[in-house]
Structure 1
Amino acid sequence: MGAAFFYHLTRAPLDVTLPMLAGKSLGAGWKVAVRGPDRGRMEWLDQRLWQGPEDAFLPHGLSGGPHDDLQPVLLTVAGEVAGNDPACLMAIDGAAVSPEEVQALERVCILFDGTDEEAVQVARGQWKQLTGAGCSAQYWSEESGRWEKKAES
């Protein structure tokens, strides 16, 4: 049974934090699916990831390609089935995550923008929904300048 890790982004933006977390997941031997709310946002993220530093390249693809099953990190849209058989799901921008997914995967990461009050409220609702369904969850904050676990359920 997996766990949901909530990442409250207050210092580094999504396009900096996501590659770091995905890299750690790949280091654990997991394939990763990144789920966003719409195709345009995932296309933006795809472009940002290609523009990163060469020494920190994150191997990834946008869903719908001919080799989805081979992608270490697959960018998907809510409602799509990740074709790369991920062990880790990273949800961004309030993309929905079900308790069943948390229980079936090794890890679910929910990344949310701490400067956006609506995003914070959505994350609080997700925490309540997932922990209420019996899922293990951790809340991580970078407010101090480094990632620290602030709560666990």
Structure 2
Amino acid sequence: MTELLFYHLQRRPPESVLPSLLEKSLERGWRVVVQVSSDERVEALDAHLWTYRDESFLPHGTDRDGLAAEHPVLITVRDHNPNRANVRFLVERAPMPADAATYDRIVVMFDGEDEEALAEARVIWREKKAEGFDVTYWQCDERGRWQKRG
């Protein structure tokens, strides 16, 4: 059964949250696809993951650099899985992939300050829960720690 985790971002951009979640995924031996909403976001996130921390970086690439199948973390705008990822992150309202049930885990990151994004997340929650996905909701507390809320 696919786990579907909803991360409610409030006053924090995806770039502040995504690196640590990707690191945890890699520590577990998972391969990851990160789907974003535009080519500009692919470029920005690609650059960010090389520089977000002075002492390290996340091994990753984009689907445009020709080695998509080799990357442990792949950033794309497309609904595909060339690196055989078992985890998919959907960022900034990227659509649910047609093959959603083939992943071990899908993480939907949405802007809690955006009413349309919040409404979309609620629709996805209801639909995927009805389809049998194991859905959970995560929200950041005042100390910056993620708390499971549902």
Q: Pick the aligned partner of 1:127 from 117, 125, 128.
A: 125
Q: Which residue of 2 aligns with 1:89?
A: 88
Q: Which residue type is aligned with residue 125 of structure 1?
A: V
Distance 1:98 1:72 in 2: 19
Identity over the aligned pairs, expressed in percent? 35
> Which digits, 9 at most, give the CA deviation of each residue in 1:77-133, with x for residues without a partner?
133x121110100001111114741x3111110011112222111111111121121
Structure 1 length-normalised TM:
0.89
- What SS is found at the alignment partner of 2:149? strand
- What SS is found at the alignment partner of 1:111? strand
Q: What are the ranges of 5 or more consecutive residues in structure 1 without an aligned counterpart?
A: none
RMSD: 1.6
Distance 2:91 2:18 in 1: 9
The alignment status of 1:150 with 2:149, answered yes or no, reads yes
Q: Which residue of 2 aligns with 1:10?
A: 10
Aligned length: 149
Residues 99 and 130, structure 1, Cα contact 8 Å, conserved in 2: no
Structure 2 length-normalised TM:
0.91
Residues 78 and 95, structure 1, Cα contact 8 Å, conserved in 2: no
Q: Which residue of 1 aligns with 2:62?
A: 62
Distance 1:18 1:27 in 2: 14
> Which digits, 9 at most, give the CA deviation of each residue in 1:19-77, with x for residues without a partner?
11111110110010001122122112112222211324111111122211111100011
- What SS is found at the alignment partner of 1:37? coil
Q: Which residue type is aligned with residue 117 of structure 1?
A: E
Aligned pairs (5 A) from 1:15-34 = 15-34=15-34
Distance change in 2, residues 1:99/1:129 (3 Å): farther
